[in-house]
Amino acid sequence: MTDLIFQKDMNIFEKIFSCITFLFDIIYRILLTYAKVVLLVIIVIVSAQVFSRKFIGSSIRWSEEVALLLMVWLAFIAMAIGVEKKLHIAIEMFVKPLPKPVQKIIEKINDTATMLFGIILVIYGKELVAHTMSSTLPATQWPAGIAYLMMPIGGVFITYFSFLSLFNLEKYRHIEIEEGKAETSLEA
Protein backbone atom coordinates (compact mmCIF):
# COMPACT_ATOMS: atom_id res chain seq x y z
CA MET A 1 0.00 0.00 0.00
CA THR A 2 2.82 2.43 0.80
CA ASP A 3 4.32 1.73 -2.64
CA LEU A 4 1.07 3.02 -4.08
CA ILE A 5 1.25 6.29 -2.12
CA PHE A 6 4.97 7.07 -1.84
CA GLN A 7 7.81 7.02 -4.30
CA LYS A 8 11.39 6.29 -3.32
CA ASP A 9 13.52 9.13 -1.95
CA MET A 10 10.60 11.41 -0.96
CA ASN A 11 11.17 13.93 1.79
CA ILE A 12 8.56 14.51 4.53
CA PHE A 13 6.85 17.38 2.64
CA GLU A 14 6.55 15.25 -0.48
CA LYS A 15 5.15 12.34 1.55
CA ILE A 16 2.50 14.58 3.14
CA PHE A 17 1.58 16.07 -0.22
CA SER A 18 1.48 12.60 -1.78
CA CYS A 19 -0.95 11.46 0.95
CA ILE A 20 -3.18 14.48 0.26
CA THR A 21 -3.18 13.86 -3.48
CA PHE A 22 -3.84 10.15 -2.86
CA LEU A 23 -6.96 11.04 -0.88
CA PHE A 24 -8.13 13.52 -3.54
CA ASP A 25 -7.47 11.01 -6.32
CA ILE A 26 -9.50 8.32 -4.54
CA ILE A 27 -12.43 10.72 -4.09
CA TYR A 28 -12.05 11.83 -7.70
CA ARG A 29 -12.16 8.22 -8.86
CA ILE A 30 -15.42 7.78 -6.94
CA LEU A 31 -16.78 10.94 -8.59
CA LEU A 32 -15.86 9.62 -12.05
CA THR A 33 -17.70 6.39 -11.38
CA TYR A 34 -20.59 8.34 -9.90
CA ALA A 35 -20.76 10.53 -13.04
CA LYS A 36 -21.09 7.42 -15.20
CA VAL A 37 -23.90 6.10 -13.00
CA VAL A 38 -25.66 9.49 -13.01
CA LEU A 39 -25.54 9.62 -16.80
CA LEU A 40 -27.04 6.13 -16.99
CA VAL A 41 -29.77 7.05 -14.48
CA ILE A 42 -30.62 10.19 -16.48
CA ILE A 43 -31.00 8.09 -19.62
CA VAL A 44 -33.22 5.56 -17.82
CA ILE A 45 -35.42 8.26 -16.24
CA VAL A 46 -35.89 10.20 -19.48
CA SER A 47 -36.53 7.00 -21.45
CA ALA A 48 -39.08 5.84 -18.89
CA GLN A 49 -40.78 9.24 -19.05
CA VAL A 50 -40.97 9.12 -22.87
CA PHE A 51 -42.25 5.52 -22.81
CA SER A 52 -44.81 6.35 -20.12
CA ARG A 53 -46.11 9.42 -21.91
CA LYS A 54 -46.16 7.82 -25.36
CA PHE A 55 -47.53 4.35 -24.61
CA ILE A 56 -49.26 4.57 -21.24
CA GLY A 57 -50.69 8.06 -21.68
CA SER A 58 -49.50 9.53 -18.39
CA SER A 59 -46.23 11.03 -17.28
CA ILE A 60 -44.04 10.29 -14.33
CA ARG A 61 -44.56 13.33 -12.12
CA TRP A 62 -41.05 13.57 -10.70
CA SER A 63 -39.01 12.50 -13.75
CA GLU A 64 -38.20 15.92 -15.20
CA GLU A 65 -37.22 17.35 -11.83
CA VAL A 66 -34.91 14.45 -10.94
CA ALA A 67 -33.37 14.34 -14.43
CA LEU A 68 -32.69 18.10 -14.29
CA LEU A 69 -31.18 17.79 -10.81
CA LEU A 70 -28.88 15.00 -11.98
CA MET A 71 -27.88 16.99 -15.07
CA VAL A 72 -26.87 19.92 -12.86
CA TRP A 73 -24.80 17.55 -10.74
CA LEU A 74 -23.22 16.05 -13.83
CA ALA A 75 -22.36 19.50 -15.19
CA PHE A 76 -20.29 20.43 -12.13
CA ILE A 77 -18.52 17.06 -12.12
CA ALA A 78 -17.85 17.48 -15.85
CA MET A 79 -16.30 20.90 -15.25
CA ALA A 80 -13.84 19.36 -12.80
CA ILE A 81 -13.06 16.56 -15.26
CA GLY A 82 -12.51 19.17 -17.99
CA VAL A 83 -10.03 21.08 -15.82
CA GLU A 84 -8.19 17.88 -14.89
CA LYS A 85 -7.89 16.80 -18.52
CA LYS A 86 -7.23 20.39 -19.69
CA LEU A 87 -10.32 20.33 -21.89
CA HIS A 88 -11.59 23.72 -20.79
CA ILE A 89 -11.94 26.54 -23.28
CA ALA A 90 -8.63 27.88 -24.53
CA ILE A 91 -7.88 29.95 -27.58
CA GLU A 92 -4.63 28.42 -28.76
CA MET A 93 -4.69 30.27 -32.07
CA PHE A 94 -3.43 33.43 -30.34
CA VAL A 95 -1.03 31.72 -27.94
CA LYS A 96 0.81 29.25 -30.22
CA PRO A 97 2.65 31.89 -32.28
CA LEU A 98 4.05 33.48 -29.11
CA PRO A 99 7.47 32.54 -27.70
CA LYS A 100 7.57 29.60 -25.24
CA PRO A 101 8.24 31.77 -22.14
CA VAL A 102 5.20 33.92 -22.93
CA GLN A 103 3.11 30.78 -23.49
CA LYS A 104 4.16 29.53 -20.03
CA ILE A 105 3.15 32.85 -18.44
CA ILE A 106 -0.23 32.77 -20.16
CA GLU A 107 -0.69 29.15 -19.04
CA LYS A 108 0.01 30.18 -15.42
CA ILE A 109 -2.45 33.08 -15.72
CA ASN A 110 -5.02 30.63 -17.07
CA ASP A 111 -4.37 28.21 -14.18
CA THR A 112 -4.68 31.06 -11.67
CA ALA A 113 -7.97 32.28 -13.17
CA THR A 114 -9.34 28.73 -13.22
CA MET A 115 -8.28 28.20 -9.60
CA LEU A 116 -10.00 31.45 -8.57
CA PHE A 117 -13.13 30.29 -10.39
CA GLY A 118 -12.99 27.03 -8.41
CA ILE A 119 -12.62 28.95 -5.14
CA ILE A 120 -15.62 31.12 -6.06
CA LEU A 121 -17.65 27.97 -6.78
CA VAL A 122 -16.73 26.58 -3.36
CA ILE A 123 -17.54 29.75 -1.42
CA TYR A 124 -20.72 30.80 -3.18
CA GLY A 125 -21.84 27.23 -3.85
CA LYS A 126 -21.71 26.50 -0.13
CA GLU A 127 -23.75 29.65 0.55
CA LEU A 128 -26.25 28.78 -2.19
CA VAL A 129 -26.74 25.28 -0.80
CA ALA A 130 -27.20 26.65 2.73
CA HIS A 131 -29.72 29.31 1.64
CA THR A 132 -31.82 26.98 -0.51
CA MET A 133 -32.03 24.01 1.89
CA SER A 134 -35.10 25.50 3.58
CA SER A 135 -37.19 25.49 0.37
CA THR A 136 -38.37 22.34 -1.36
CA LEU A 137 -38.54 21.12 -4.93
CA PRO A 138 -42.15 20.93 -6.14
CA ALA A 139 -42.43 17.34 -7.43
CA THR A 140 -40.17 15.40 -5.08
CA GLN A 141 -40.43 17.66 -2.01
CA TRP A 142 -36.66 17.29 -1.55
CA PRO A 143 -34.71 20.27 -0.20
CA ALA A 144 -33.89 22.61 -3.10
CA GLY A 145 -30.30 22.89 -1.86
CA ILE A 146 -29.46 19.40 -3.08
CA ALA A 147 -29.76 20.68 -6.64
CA TYR A 148 -26.63 22.76 -6.00
CA LEU A 149 -24.75 20.28 -3.83
CA MET A 150 -22.21 19.44 -6.52
CA MET A 151 -21.32 23.12 -7.04
CA PRO A 152 -18.91 23.36 -4.07
CA ILE A 153 -17.67 19.79 -4.64
CA GLY A 154 -16.89 20.56 -8.29
CA GLY A 155 -15.25 23.80 -7.11
CA VAL A 156 -12.97 21.89 -4.74
CA PHE A 157 -11.75 19.64 -7.56
CA ILE A 158 -11.40 22.54 -10.03
CA THR A 159 -9.27 24.33 -7.41
CA TYR A 160 -7.28 21.16 -6.73
CA PHE A 161 -6.46 20.44 -10.38
CA SER A 162 -5.67 24.10 -11.11
CA PHE A 163 -3.39 24.26 -8.07
CA LEU A 164 -1.50 21.17 -9.20
CA SER A 165 -1.11 22.57 -12.71
CA LEU A 166 -0.14 26.05 -11.49
CA PHE A 167 2.73 24.73 -9.38
CA ASN A 168 3.66 21.75 -11.62
CA LEU A 169 2.70 19.23 -8.94
CA GLU A 170 0.99 16.69 -11.21
CA LYS A 171 3.85 14.26 -10.51
CA TYR A 172 2.30 13.64 -7.08
CA ARG A 173 -0.99 12.46 -8.57
CA HIS A 174 -1.89 8.79 -8.35
CA ILE A 175 -3.13 8.20 -11.88
CA GLU A 176 -3.06 4.43 -11.42
CA ILE A 177 -6.08 4.80 -9.10
CA GLU A 178 -8.10 6.42 -11.86
CA GLU A 179 -7.11 3.83 -14.42
CA GLY A 180 -8.26 0.96 -12.23
CA LYS A 181 -4.71 -0.31 -11.76
CA ALA A 182 -4.86 0.33 -8.03
CA GLU A 183 -7.25 -2.55 -7.48
CA THR A 184 -4.81 -4.97 -9.04
CA SER A 185 -1.92 -3.41 -7.10
CA LEU A 186 -3.81 -3.76 -3.84
CA GLU A 187 -4.74 -7.38 -4.59
CA ALA A 188 -1.14 -8.38 -5.36
pLDDT of residue 15: 87
pLDDT of residue 95: 86
For 92, 118, 121, 133, the CA distances from 137, given in Å and listed in that order, are 42, 26, 22, 10
Task: Enumerate residue ranges in the chain where pLDDT < 70.
Answer: 1-4, 178-188
pLDDT of residue 34: 93
pLDDT of residue 154: 96
What pTM did the predictor assign?
Answer: 0.86
pLDDT of residue 137: 94
68-88 pLDDT, tens digit each: 999 999 999 999 999 999 887
Q: What b/e string do you get for 43-74 counting C-beta neighbours within 10 Å, with b at 16 or more? A: eebbeebeeeeeeeeeebebbebbbebbebbb
Q: What b/e string do you get for 79-116 counting C-beta neighbours within 10 Å, with b at 16 or more? A: bbbebbeeebeeeeeeeeeeeeeeeeeeeeebbeebbe
